[in-house]
Amino acid sequence: MSSGTPRTFYVPDPPQIPPSDPPQHWSKVSSNWTAHLKSDKTGFDVRPIDPNDSTGCRLGPPSNAPDYNVLLKKYGMQVLAASGFLNHTGARMSEEIYGRLAFADFRNPTHEETLKIHPVLRPNMWGKTTPQVYAMMVPALRLATAVLDDPITLNYFHALSTPSDLMYTRLSTFPDGRTEECKTMEIPDTLSEAEQQVVYDKICKMQSYTNWGFETTDDRRYGITIPVEASKHAAEYFVPASQPGTCKTEIRLNYCFIKVLSWFSADQETRGYDERYRRIFVDTQTKAQISPERRARISLNSAIYRTTFQLASSILHEFAHAFSLAYYETHRSASAPSEPWVKGNRCNEQGHAFENHIFGGLVRPIDRQFGHLQVISAPFGFYTTHQWDVWKFNDHDVEYDDPEDGQSWEVMDAEDTDPDAPREDDRVFPVPQEWTEWVFSKEAWSIDVDRFGPSAIKVPKIAKWQLCNHDTKTWTDDELENRPQWD
């Protein structure tokens, strides 16, 4: 880190296959080449495959299994591993990561140990969760607490709890012909100390409006926020929270988080004798039919950071939904969008919008076409996109179904958009594992965030590794068969 700028993250240049005559797309020729990391780690030498040399990284998809993420389709596991996108140091997570308001007069001015976790995340909020399970969650709770204790979060929730009558309103006609008021949040750059305390008190009031727990689920969602239904003869369908038109909630996270954390703990305690955690990574590659010569070493100590990060981001995601339901009143129209938009977003899914606001993008496992345990373990690393909601709209229905998480949400179509026109490319970036581990460090929060604000922890998007994933919605069958779906 230089003295005047936030931390940056170095990775080598991606491998380049020599040009051919006539030119051919990478996907047609990559199986003929291997990439060798240069001794100075600035990039790769790319050479034709030598059956007598097994030291290079095999390019192209790890196997013939369908639907790999484009990063795996192009580079394969071994290049991503050699470039630092799967493994780093696996250093111990710091117990001292604090948001900039963690010790404010209205928060914890005396630095009491029992108050360092945010009030809405303390043990009393987690119902039947045992002390042993809660202890495994603490690293994720520390990161979520640091985010909740930052001024940028208070600015966000100040805007989200603004009465909807005072929000910017746009009338939008949805595909079914109805016209509704769509509200947009105005997030301030700063708040006064008095305003910060008001918002902090609203966040703390969520102790009365929601609770946390885990559930076993058959789908791949990380969590869900469920409105609490009122009694049969009550005036409103849901139990009101801050005012009529709002509701109390229950937050349920995927129980696979606990399985993975507990299996990792057992692996560490038994020094590898308990193999359940490491079997996740072996079984994932076996299920994907990845042959041994195309596999890569996956550091268990690095991989657990990805699980812990996903748990922290899921907590923040679901809390944003719960806060919205508790303060954003929607009683004027039963069919009106249930959550407001953040300026610049196409989609009004508040959980994703808040993640994007904090981390500068959605950080997700590079391949999510597996079961619960594999997704939460993220064996192939993380990726993010240039714009989180670039493809998040549906021209023919009011709700958009995300094939990755099975959730639906309301969207606002762009004005004057041709419904048959291709959408812009979804630009995809692999995430350096060093960043995933760094956000759990004392250095990140006590030095960079303290000096530069939360922009210092936004996920790095390294341009030279960018891939363009094409929208194939309007492609012909011949194009789907023969045209590359990424570049």
- Residue 4 placed within a domain: no
Asked whether residue 7 is assigned to any structural domain, the reply reads no
Indicate whether 376 pLDDT > 70: yes
What is the structure's pLDDT at 231?
Answer: 76
Mean pLDDT of 304-314: 97
Give the mean pLDDT of 192-206: 97
Domain count for the chain = 1
3 state SS of 94: coil
- If one compares 137 and 389, the residue with the highest pLDDT of the two is 137
Which residues have C-beta within 8 Å of that of residue 445, sequence separation ≥ 6? 96, 97, 98, 99, 146
Task: Report pLDDT for 405.
Answer: 41
Distance in angstroms (rounded) separating the CA atoms of residues 281 and 299: 10
For residue 245, the model assigns a pLDDT of 87
Contact 318, 253 (CB under 8 A): yes
- 111 CB-near residues (< 8 Å, 6+ apart): 103
| For residue 474, pLDDT beyond 90 | no
Q: For residue 244, is it within any domain? A: yes
Of the pLDDT bands very low, low, confident and very high (cuts 50, 70, 90), residue 171 is confident
pLDDT tens digits, 110-164: 999 999 999 999 999 999 999 999 999 999 999 999 999 999 999 999 999 998 8
391-429, pLDDT tens digit by residue?
664 333 333 333 334 344 445 544 444 545 566 778 999
Q: Residue 172 has what pLDDT? A: 77
pLDDT at 250 over 90: yes
In angstroms, rounded to a whole number, what is the distance separating the alpha carbons of residues 265 and 378? Answer: 17
How high is the pLDDT of residue 44?
97
Structure confidence by residue, pLDDT tens digits, 256-296: 999 999 999 999 999 989 999 999 999 999 988 999 999 99
**Can you point out the beta strands (E) in 2-63?**
33-37, 44-48, 57-58
Q: At what angle do helices 276-287 and 300-327 cross, to 10 degrees?
A: 90
Determine the Cα–Cα distance for residues 15 and 277; give it in Å rounded to an integer. Answer: 32
Question: What is the predicted pLDDT for the residue at 404?
Answer: 38
Where in 221-323 does DSSP place strands (E)? 223-227, 249-254
What is the pLDDT at residue 137? 97
Residue 486 DSSP label: B
What pLDDT score was predicted for residue 176?
67
Q: Is there a domain that residue 363 lies in?
A: yes
- Owning domain of residue 284: 26-482
For the stretch 3-61, pLDDT in tens is 678 889 999 999 999 988 888 898 889 989 999 999 999 999 999 999 888 889 999 99
* Mean pLDDT rounded to a whole number for the chain: 88
Confidence (pLDDT) at 461: 96
pLDDT at 169 over 70: yes
300 domain-assigned: yes
**Considering the domain boundaries, does residue 10 fall inside one?**
no
CA distances from 27 to 44, 55, 72, 291 (A): 18, 22, 11, 19
Burial 244-273 (b: 16+ CB within 10 A, else e): eebbbbbbbbbebbbbbbbbbbebeeeeee
201 inside domain: yes
Query: Of all residues in the chain, what percent carry a pLDDT higher than 70?
Result: 90
pLDDT tier at 354, thresholds 50, 70, 90:
very high
Is residue 347 assigned to a domain? yes
Q: Distance between CA 346 and CA 414 in Å, rounded?
A: 7
Amino acid 90: pLDDT: 67
User: How much is the average pLDDT of 444-473?
Assistant: 92
The pLDDT value recorded for residue 381 is 96
Q: Choose between 178 and 204: higher pLDDT.
A: 204
